[in-house]
Amino acid sequence: MDAISKMSLVELSSHFNALKGADVCWPRIEKMISDTANSWLQSGKAPNDLSVMNVWWHTCFELLAPHQVQISALNYQDEYIEIKNLGPAIIDLSGWKITAGDEYQTFVFAKDTLIYPHETLRIETYLGSTLSFDSKRPIWNNKGDKGALHDCNGALVSTWLYGDAAREHLEVSLVNFDGLEVKKEGDEFVEVANLSHSVIDISLWQIRGNKGQQFEFPNGSFIKPQGVVRVYTNQYHPSTGGHNFESQRALWSNDGGKASLYDNQNACISEYQW
């Protein structure tokens, strides 16, 4: 590898260490490539263009892959797990693997398996599907489990938790009991935090109050790694999940109260008192 290529790799690595998310990294790298190419053209350094650009692009794809390809769904009732390519690059999944809770439950992607930008791949449990664990029995525990995606080098890329496997990683982190909205206080909210580096499925989990307040998260609800969701009294905020009680009156007393988080098996996971 020539000196320019080595410098390019160092520069790319430093940018990825400093920035998070493909949506930020990719435009930055694209500009770096464009600026470098223009510099070569102006200086007449054309002979090595192809080899250097190949290094750039292959390195970009390798660095972007863990940011792009993520577990996007896990259905323990219908027995499948899905991964999605968030874009913008085509990713070669050869040798990547998905593991279920049991160490012997592993699916390995075949050679030349490609996932295109914004494409979703579903890996079934049972025999007969193109992508399948080829299992004769269920592999996803109904009470709780962990799905993990690893790249071809064995590095952990994405994890998904649900049920009792998620309990220790969630807490009611805040109750905004004194809203600014006059009388109805629709801007009150209960906040639930994900303390882990995994996506956590909270479908059918509930928030309950000590005065009969109750909200159930609909199917498909999840919290991103290190993220939060909020359940407002009567406001819609997509950035924090878009959940609300749809209550026409204030729910949380300024004089004191309690909000609790219950999982989908009716076990109390966390309480917040004020």
H-run or E-run covering 147: strand 144-150
What's the angle, vertex CA 93, arms to CA 90 and CA 99, rounded to 5?
135
What's the predicted TM-score (pTM) here? 0.78
- Quick one: angle between helices 3-18 and 49-68, nearest 10? 20
Looking only at Cα atoms, what is the longest distance across the chain? 75
Residue 52: per-residue pLDDT:
62
Contact call for residues 171 and 193 (beta carbons, < 8 A): yes
What's the angle, vertex CA 238, arms to CA 233 and CA 244, rounded to 5?
20
Residue 90: per-residue pLDDT:
86
Domains 69-161 and 167-273 in one fold: yes
Residue 1: per-residue pLDDT:
45
How confident is the prediction along the chain (274 residues), in pLDDT tens digits per residue? 444 444 454 555 555 555 555 555 666 666 666 676 667 667 665 555 556 666 666 677 777 777 889 999 999 999 999 999 988 888 899 999 999 976 679 999 999 999 999 999 999 999 888 899 999 999 999 999 999 999 998 999 999 999 999 999 999 999 999 999 988 999 999 999 999 999 999 999 999 999 999 999 999 999 999 999 999 999 999 999 999 999 999 999 999 999 999 999 999 999 999 9
Q: Which of 175, 183, 191 is CA-nearest to residue 250? A: 183
What is the CATH topology of the domain spanning 69-161?
Immunoglobulin-like (2.60.40)
Where do we find the tokens 């029995």? Answer: 137
Where do we find the tokens 């993520």? Answer: 70
The count of C-alpha atoms lying within 13 angstroms of the C-alpha of 238, restricted to the half-sphere facing its C-beta, is 0
Q: Where are the domains of the chain?
A: 3-67, 69-161, 167-273
CATH 2.60.40.1260, domain 167-273, yes or no: yes
Contact call for residues 250 and 203 (beta carbons, < 8 A): no
